[in-house]
Amino acid sequence: MSEPSGGKSVTLHDVAREAGVSLITASRALSNPGLVSAKTIARVQQAVETTGYIPNLLAGGLKSRRSLTVAALVPNIAVAQFIPTVKALTDALDAAGYQLILGQTGYDHAREEALLGTMISRRPDGIVVTGLVHAQASRDRLRRSGIPVVETWDLSDRPVDMAVGFSHLKVGSAVAGYFLGKGWRRFGIATGDDHRAAVRREGFLSTLGHEVPTVRVPSPSSLGLGRQALRDLLALDPGIEAVFCSSDQLAQGVMEEARARGLRVPQDLAICGFGDADFAADMAPALTTVQIDGAGIGRLAADLVLARCRGEAVSAPVVDVGFRVVERGST
């Protein structure tokens, strides 16, 4: 308990000396015990205890070229949407001995490019990005780095490397189709200002065949922004029958504002969100929304990266996890 705390930190060299074996034998006893006799292993482990040795993964990684880290880039960790993905990714990686290095791009290409450089300089064994990498320079750099890359929450014909996501265009189409099937004809859109939400809107409009009153709010969206969005939408068209929101947080705000104005949901105003957040099913009325398996995306991304790390061939580098319009009381 009173180890030499002030001096230099304990290295494998100290452990080897304490155990009376060579450096490399100590190394093998810890990281490749199959090659070492049981007695020696015991001695080395004893030496680890008495010296308080903690291995230095940086040093090991320099030679072995495995850092046991994976970089994850999200636009903004405060966007609730991506939390289940980050959590599942972290959990799956941790179970395999890998840790996650987190970076935020702020929905900005220049920032993303700079951050990718920083991340590559840490030599992660994999890079998981939210959304597709659009800047060509970044795509080239990633490819040249040789690091396995998974683009998530979107799909592409030509991913940088691998992809796990779904079609935002189809999501928009599906919601429009669902609304039309219910007999509604006057719509509004409340949307965050990010690229993928814009694509969902495009899908919605293309199925509809015409423009729709739209209110844009900054990311991350919130209940308060949803309330404001409905106020603005009703100012644009007081006769709106149904609103498509780019997040469940916005949808919750729209519902709150509708309630405050004495509008009945769904009779006077129908609402559809996106994401199936943890609160969506328990609202009153429960929120109709587009369910995305965010945790599944994280797990799959981890699986792909880990498979590459083990040198396995990945048979399906692009995975469509799909989505589902979940009908509940708000429509």
Partner DNA sequence: CTGTTAGCGCCTTCAA
Partner DNA sequence: TTGAAGGCGCTAACAG
Of 119 and 128, nearer to DNA (C-beta) is 119
DSSP class per residue in 238-275: TT--EEEESSHHHHHHHHHHHHHTT--TTTT-EEE-SB
Instruction: Give the N- to C-terminal CA distance of the chain in Å, as an integer.
Output: 64
The DSSP bridge pattern shows strands 242-245 and 187-192 to be parallel
62 scored as a contact of DNA (CB under 7 A): yes
Cβ proximity of 64 and 39 under 8 Å: no
Binding residues for its own copies, per CB under 8 A?
1, 3, 5, 9, 52, 54-59, 61-62, 67, 69, 76-78, 80, 83-84, 86-87, 90-91, 94, 97, 99-104, 115, 117-123, 140-141, 143-146, 220, 222-224, 227, 249, 252-253, 256, 259-260, 278-279, 281-284
Residue 214: enclosing H or E segment and its boundaries?
strand 214-217
Closer by beta carbon to its own copies, 1 or else 38: 1
Rule CB under 7 A: say whether 67 interacts with DNA. no
Nearer to its own copies, 136 or 267 (CB): 136
Q: Per rule CB under 7 A, is residue 144 in the interface with DNA? A: no
Would you call 224 exposed, middle or buried from its count of C-beta atoms within 10 A (0-12, 13-18, 19+)?
middle
State which of residues 46, 49, 64, 324 lies at the interface with DNA (CB under 7 A).
64
- Among residues 276, 271, 277, 246, which one has the least CA distance to residue 258? 271
In the shown chain, the binding pattern of residues 21 to 60 toward DNA, with x for contact by CB under 7 A and - for none, equals xxxxx-xx-xxx--xxx-xx------------x-xx--xx
Token duo for residue 96: 């395999």
Q: Which residues bind DNA (CB under 7 A)?
A: 8-9, 11-13, 21-25, 27-28, 30-32, 35-37, 39-40, 53, 55-56, 59-60, 62-64
